[in-house]
Structure 1
Amino acid sequence: MIIIYWTIFLFYANFGCALNKDVIQPDPVIVTHLGQIVSLTCFCRSHLIRVSWYKQTVGQKPLLMASSYYGTENSFYFNNFNKDFTETKRLSVKRGFDSCNLTISKTESGDSATYYCVAMVVSEVTFGEGTVLIVKDSGSNSMSVLQQPVSESVQPGDSVTLNCTINTETCAGEHSVYWFRHGSGDSHPGIIYTHGDRRDQCEKSPEAGSHTQSCVYNLPKRNLGLSDAGTYYCAVASCGEILFGNGTKLDIEDGCKEDQVLLVYCLGVALGLCVIFIIVLCPVNVYL
């Protein structure tokens, strides 16, 4: 019986934390087109006092959009998002038993941003991992963002350089480039680097009379740790338009993980053998 209790304890000690998330945003990236309807999903525990949605555009601080309170069906809208709800009817938040979803109708280019689902219990605030919404204009071909994916995993302590290539036909040299990371677990997506100058290598297209420029931006990462794992996105703001690359996924292997699991099970087996030896060696009194 003691061995069974010990096994149960080890199981919950290793996997219990994964079941204790108050906020889950299942879609890290959503791509849509102008004028479409999009719904951002957020799963949350039913007892949460307050669940809110925040919007963070590239280079700006997060803005509170709307909040929903436990036990009420109505949602409250803040800042300029109240106008989107009351006048244009573009914005709506629906609170379910275990969800709080944000719906945007007739999407605009300004809707491209990162959206966070945030929960509050008493004085504790929990952020979801965020959902990046990319609104594409099918008629715009003046700029493209290319990222080369990293296919192989790296070890802790290694170095890697992430690349982002931008091809522009108009507004050459007037764009701003941002890097941000979408991690896992407790990591929240956010801007990690901004290119504030034009000293990066930009070359014109070899075609005669072409106004196309190709600019390459590098993001070096040295002495990598487990917290650096995630998907890195290159975002470009130009001519009132924001474009995102497809992302570069960076996996960092934890070389000690298997050894730690083996150690836990060895300790469990050792404890079980100790219990058996104690039972065998101790005298047993039998009463008839």
Structure 2
Amino acid sequence: HFKSLAVGQDVTLRCFSKHNQTTFYYWYKQTLGQRPRLFSEFYKHESQGRLNNDFKNDQRFQLENGDGKNHLMISNAQTSDSGTYYCVGVYSYAYEFHEGYSVLVEDSSSYIQTSVDQSSSENIHTGDSVTLNCTVHTGSCDGEHRVYWFKDSEDSHPGLIYTHDQCEKNNNMQTHSCVYELHMKNLTESHAGIYYCAVASCGHILFGNRTKLDLTGDVLVVFLLFLLWKINKRNNCTSTGTQTSFTVLHVCS
């Protein structure tokens, strides 16, 4: 299920068991770029479930438990509540996912924008080094965020190559701007491809502008050397041809 709501609204994530033998109920929450975390647990022979980890200290979260149900109620929703929620039931040592909710809490005053600043027209040669920059503008959304680098090439599907969450603030930019750098040394043909910067923050994941890394410089050099060799060979054939036609056929065949 998908739930979209504004900051301050309430939402109830409903979960019913499909089996009467279900003994334990759990809620898990997964935010973008993070592992799933145990949110709550409920034992059917108890009167009420309990919240876990940091969620147990937040009065905005409540559980509605009973025979075959495990509802999670969120009041006064915040952007940090965005994520994917899973309801899991356990019976006979078997885990079953009953319900899944993708929750998006939006704040009209917050925004996040990403951009990748790297020219695709640079003449890059094998053995050179290059730095790809990803500038993140978080606006009023100043929560935790993580940056991912993906690479896409003709030989393989897009894949994650690097991730980091340490912000390197640029003094020339606004307070809520960070610059992330991806350094690559001793470039080879395998580094050629299209690179994407993705930012996960405040319930969103956004991709920046693509950066094409094309190692065409060495190909041009090889072509020019080959062309010079052909010209030189043709000149040699022409000069030899003034001596005897037999020699020309032998050298230039």
TM class by shorter chain equals 0.3 to 0.5
TM-score, with length taken from structure 1 = 0.42
Larger radius of gyration: 2
Taking structure 2 as the reference length, what is the TM-score of the superposition?
A: 0.48
